[in-house]
Amino acid sequence: MLESLITSKTRLKLLLKFFLNSNTRSYLRSLADEFNESTNSVRVELNRLSEAGLLETEPDGNTILYRANKNHPLFPEISTLVKKYIGIDHIIDHIVSKLGDLKLAMVTGDYAKGKDSGIIDLVLVGNINQLYLIELVKKAESLINRKIRYIILTDLEYEKQFKSISNQKILVLYK
């Protein structure tokens, strides 16, 4: 769907990277390495997105740090479009909202870093009906054509294990 609208694969990867999780920040060389593309092709697209005002730049020594411009008028729409492309909107509609006593739902791993790897990692905190969750995950996977892995934590487990990991990239879906 989005590939037919945005014909540059590099631009699409950058939009996913920066608009899936708007707290993501990155450098040209790390993006080129991550995408397995030349720095020149990544630089061209970074410049286009920056000139359009969709990305902000920040000097960091001899390099430039890029991030999504949350103040751009199209930021909410692009972010929503990217989430729909990945299928996170279906996860929210079909899984998160119907689980019962759910306190927190987060995406971790590649998608939280803005990478479309085909596997979505969910962390769910609360008292959740696991049999119903399995049913919902199967339905959501067929809708979004991606694999969903999940872990269920109690409040105490979350406090002890997960919350202490402060440098891990997360994308909060429900709180």
Q: Report pLDDT digits (tens) over 72-129.
A: 999 999 988 887 777 776 676 666 667 778 888 888 888 887 788 889 898 889 888 8
pLDDT given at position 89? 67
pLDDT given at position 55? 96
Q: 11 and 45 in contact (C-beta within 8 Å)?
A: yes
Locate 70 and state its tokens: 């949350």
Ranking 31-40, 41-50, 71-80, 115-124 by mean pLDDT, the lowest is 115-124
SS3 99: coil
pLDDT given at position 128? 87
pLDDT given at position 166? 47
Confidence of residue 1 (pLDDT cuts 50, 70, 90): low
Residue given tokens 């730049």 in the structure block: 57
43 vs 97 pLDDT, higher one: 43
What's the whole-number mean pLDDT along residues 4-16? 79
Containing H/E element for 82? helix 75-86
Decide if pLDDT at 49 tops 90. Answer: yes
Q: From residue 4, give the alpha-carbon distance in Å to each of 1, 36, 81.
A: 6, 22, 14
Confidence of residue 69 (pLDDT cuts 50, 70, 90): very high
- Of the chain, the percentage scoring pLDDT greater than 70 comes to 83
What are the backbone dihedrals phi and psi of residue 88, each rounded to the nearest 5 degrees, phi first? -65, -30
pLDDT given at position 110? 85
pLDDT given at position 73? 95
Q: 69 and 118 in contact (C-beta within 8 Å)?
A: no
